[in-house]
Amino acid sequence: MTQAGLYTLAASALAGIGVYGLIVRRHLLRRILALNLLGNAVFLLLVALARRHPGYVDPVPHAMVLTGIVVAVSATALALVLARRYYAETGLRHLPEDEG
Amino acid sequence: MIDRAFDLLLIGGMLGLAVQVVASRALFRSVVLFIALGLLMAVVWARLAAPDLALAEAAIGAGLTGALLLAAYRALQPAGEAGDAEPAALPRRWALVAAVLSGALVAAIGWAVLGLEPPAASAGREALARLGESGVKSPITAVLLSFRAVDTLAEVVVLFAAFLGARVVAEPLGRAGPGPRPDPAGGEPVLMPLLLRVTVPMGVLVAGYLLWSGGHQPGGAFQAGAVLAALGVLLRLTGRLQPVAETSPAERLALVGGIVLFSAIGLAGAGMASAVLAYPEGWAYTLILLIETGLTLAIALPLTLLFSGSAGLRWRGR
């Protein structure tokens, strides 16, 4: 198997772990962590696919992922502020929909 | 052979850490392992011939995200409670269902991507072939600021929007960000001033170098902005920068300057060059460097302020 193939499989496994964490865990911080794992999986998939061309490395997915890393940290920061404010207002660290 | 072994080791480490992040009982452990995973991702990017990403991931993915997560972890800890009493996880049988479905997802993605054939013509090949037209020598910078400049412009707008959103729901100054503000005048480790005296100028130098080197080798506004933001975090944590409720005019300029400058040059391209966000002949390198300088600040400041949890920062010194 090529290096690109190996890392695409790793990306799919990482995505699976992220989705599993997103479903099973309820703590807001854990959800944000799981979402970031899923994001990392998407980035890894793009970069691994950029590597499969014979003779060159595709710069377009690299640029997309670079943009994506900054967007991911912005979204994470906003999500964390929302979670903190939610906790300050309600004293809850999970969403009431997850009560069960 | 040794290459393959290294790849397998990296992937094993990455997946192992990811499993621990999800499954670990203690939330603090999950957060710390997630930061470790970020560092490992930087090595993965380097292995996959993406040094630009490795630089950005080390500074942003592991550094800044980690700082934000740790600050939030502390804020979400109930007062007087030692361990973290978490909301109960899903019942075991539902967790099993979720695991099976996630496993199916892994298989589906894996099956789909392994069947993909590399396309004969890709945007990347086109970009590499026309690198000479962009005015810069680094293909990533060429894509980011010339061929797909619109993505980059939208990305700084997203960052700015996230900052505005965070201001809307911000907590009071005393509780926001990383918590109690240390006073540099009273009681800090003896080595702290020395450490700052070395790291801060070095950090500024590294950021400047990364910004300039973006034109011909890995680096650019993203990495430079991330390094500056990391310095901002350091100065905020050591009390050199104090959070304030007002955004100063200079901070406002840095926050929107990059976006305004980028948009103005982009619009001017409609008249002076071939299209919106195209650069006039011969001016590309100068304009790209100018835009990147603005973008560096437009990336560094909102990230620092998001960490600080304040509308502005004021220099306090010692």
How much is the pLDDT for B155?
94
> Considering the domain boundaries, does residue B192 fall inside one?
yes
Q: Which domains does chain A have, with CATH numbers?
A: 3-94 (1.10.287.3510)
> Considering the domain boundaries, does residue B47 fall inside one?
no
How much is the pLDDT for B77?
83
> Considering the domain boundaries, does residue B45 fall inside one?
no
Confidence band for B6, pLDDT divided at 50, 70 and 90: very high
> Considering the domain boundaries, does residue B291 fall inside one?
yes
* ipTM given for this complex: 0.95
How much is the pLDDT for B123?
86
> Considering the domain boundaries, does residue B303 fall inside one?
yes
- Tell me whether residues B22 and A30 touch, CB distance under 8 A: yes
- Tell me whether residues B140 and A15 touch, CB distance under 8 A: no
Domain carrying residue B213: 138-318
Q: Is the pLDDT of residue B82 over 60?
A: no
CA dihedral A12, A17, A18, A22 (to 10 degrees): 140
Any bridge partners for residue B312, and if so which?
B244
- B143: nearest CB among A25, A28, A60: A60
> Cα–Cα–Cα angle for B156, B162, B165, nearest 5°?
145
* Domain total of chain B: 1
Q: Is the pLDDT of residue B253 over 70?
A: yes
> Considering the domain boundaries, does residue B100 fall inside one?
no
Residues B211-226 have pLDDT tens digits of 999 888 888 999 999 9
Contact of B199 with B91, CB cutoff 8 Å:
no
Minimum distance, in Å, between the CA of residue A17 and any CA atom of chain B: 6
Q: B292 CB near a chain A CB, below 8 Å?
A: no
Residues A66-90 have pLDDT tens digits of 999 999 999 999 999 999 999 999 8
Q: Which residues contact A39 (CB under 8 A, 6 or more apart)?
A: A18, A68, A72
Question: Picking from A16-30, B126-140, B199-213, which range would have the lowest pLDDT averaged per residue?
Answer: B126-140
Task: Give the whole-angstrom CA distance, residue A83 versus residue B12.
Answer: 32
- Tell me whether residues A24 and B90 touch, CB distance under 8 A: yes
Q: Is the pLDDT of residue B191 over 70?
A: yes
Task: Give the whole-angstrom CA distance, residue B166 versus residue B302.
Answer: 10
Q: B143 CB near a chain A CB, below 8 Å?
A: yes
Helix (H, G, I), strand (E, B) or coil at B107: helix
Residues A11-29 have pLDDT tens digits of 999 999 999 999 998 899 9
- Count of alpha carbons within 13 angstroms of residue A38, beta-carbon side: 16
Contact of A32 with A82, CB cutoff 8 Å:
no
Q: What is the total residue count of chain A?
A: 100
- Tell me whether residues B18 and A17 touch, CB distance under 8 A: yes
Q: What is the mean pLDDT of chain B?
A: 89
Q: B308 CB near a chain A CB, below 8 Å?
A: no
Contact of B177 with B243, CB cutoff 8 Å:
yes
Q: B88 CB near a chain A CB, below 8 Å?
A: yes
How much is the pLDDT for B42?
95
Q: Is the pLDDT of residue B89 over 70?
A: no
